[in-house]
Amino acid sequence: MSKFMSKRHDELDAYVPGEQPQDKKYVKLNTNESPFPPSPFAQRLARQAAGTIELYCDPESGALVRIAAEKFGVAEDEIIFTNGSDEVLDFAFAAFCDDKTPAVFPDITYGFYPVFATRNGVPYREIPLKEDLTVNVEDYFGVKGTVFIANPNAPTGIALPAAEIEKIVKANPDNVVVVDEAYVDFGGESVLPLIKKYDNLLVTETFSKSRSLAGGRLGMGFANKALIADIKKIKYSFNPYNVNSMTAAAGIGALLDEEYFKANVATIIKTRENTVFALEKLGFTTLPSKANFIFAKHAKMSGKCVYSALKDKGVLVRYFDKDRLRDYVRITVGSAEDMRVLAETLADIIGEQK
Ligand code: PMP
């Protein structure tokens, strides 16, 4: 750090994203990307949009908003698009938390939440997950803070039913509840329709997983128009042009190509179930995942050991050096072929241990 860095950031422990190695080709199962390329229609629209990037993009992403409003059954002023869902989450910390209104989230969840809180200079409180790594919804009743809840949760993949999330929203009428649905398309239940019923609910979703646009950076937030206006106030104080023209065009293609989206999601769910079966045969225990990843642990090897052995053999997964998580690795559900390589490599590693 240079001597010029503001002391404001002394406490900031920057988020460490999953590796994006450039040294060699790995079977890459570490950042929950889709194994499928973007929809061909999305690619075509993005290429077309590339021809006009001498102009600033539409700061409201109007065309995308109109299509999304129709698709998701909400009004146009109940949506905001952002540069990945990380950005709408960050805006929510900025908009809805302060010294008197801390952020509240589980102790095991998306690792960016504490970073967003610290960078925005707002306090946060972590509520421990239960022994079985599930959320106890009652712990979030009347917490006097802005609740952030990932559903399905990360990195466990465990989902709560929509009715359970609704209880949290209902029990915090004076605070915003942010439901991060980055992985909801893989078997979770969305609470998006509830934005019509509750004025304190913000739902965030991403195009990075089920819609194959991780590198395009496109996220969305849904809430009643007053909350969306609050978030826009933050956006317009930071970067009006946060969604570039090519990404917005790709987003339109991804939304309109519903068939491609549905087929990919169905394939990933099927591959996930097959992989769980293969992992269990190899002596792993897995948590019940409704996401595009599997959180798995082996009786005889730590998470770090599984991660390192796999990396040596060209397969990249993720492990977390944190209490209660150290035994596990998080494995993204890739293509059926990726998962065949994973299972074979794990079988080799287990064989070498004996
Ligand atoms: N929420 C959760 C739970 C995530 O795991 C991720 C992906 N790292 C995100 C949000 C953000 O994804 P993106 O910014 O690519 O939309």
Same fold? 17-36+259-353, 40-256: no
Which tokens hold the place of 302?
């730590």
> Which residues lie with the beta carbon below 6 Å from any ligand 1 atom?
84-86, 110, 150, 154, 180, 182, 206, 208, 214, 219
Q: Ligand 1, residues 32, 83, 85, 183: which to mutate, most atoms within 8 A of Cβ? A: 85
Task: Label residue 18 by pLDDT band (50, 70, 90).
Answer: confident
Q: Give pLDDT, residue 24.
A: 81
Q: Could you count the other beta carbons within 10 Å of the beta carbon of residue 280?
A: 12
Instruction: For residue 86, report the distance from its CA to the centre of ligand 1, in Å.
Output: 6
Instruction: For residue 3, report the distance from its CA to the centre of ligand 1, in Å.
Output: 32
What is the mean pLDDT of the segment spanning 246-275? 98
Indicate the fold that domain 40-256 takes in CATH: Aspartate Aminotransferase; domain 2 (3.40.640)
Average pLDDT of the residues of the chain = 97
pLDDT at 256 over 90: yes
Task: Label residue 22 by pLDDT band (50, 70, 90).
Answer: confident
Whether cis (ω within 30° of 0) applies to the bond prior to 288 is: no
The CATH code belonging to domain 17-36+259-353 is: 3.90.1150.10
Q: Give pLDDT, residue 353.
A: 80
Instruction: For residue 105, report the distance from its CA to the centre of ligand 1, in Å.
Output: 15
Going from N- to C-terminal start, the domains of the chain cover 17-36+259-353, 40-256
pLDDT at 354 over 80: no
Q: Give pLDDT, residue 23.
A: 78
Q: Ligand 1, residues 180, 217, 293, 318: which to mutate, most atoms within 8 A of Cβ? A: 180
Instruction: For residue 348, report the distance from its CA to the centre of ligand 1, in Å.
Output: 32
- Closest to 275 (Cα-Cα) out of 190, 195, 333: 333
What is the mean pLDDT of the segment spanning 266-282? 98
pLDDT digits (tens, 9 = 90+) for 323-349: 999 999 999 999 999 999 999 999 999
Q: Which amino acid is at 354?
A: K
pLDDT at 304 over 90: yes
Instruction: For residue 117, report the distance from its CA to the centre of ligand 1, in Å.
Output: 16
Residue pair 182/293 in contact (Cβ under 8 Å)? The answer is no
What is the mean pLDDT of the segment spanning 76-90? 98
Q: Give pLDDT, residue 66.
A: 98
- Ligand 1 atom showing the smallest separation from residue 154 Cα: 3
Task: Label residue 17 by pLDDT band (50, 70, 90).
Answer: confident
What is the mean pLDDT of the segment spanning 60-87? 98
What is the mean pLDDT of the segment spanning 155-171? 98
What is the mean pLDDT of the segment spanning 128-132? 97
Give me the residues paired with residue 28 across strands. 316
Calpha distance 188→132 (Å, rounded):
19
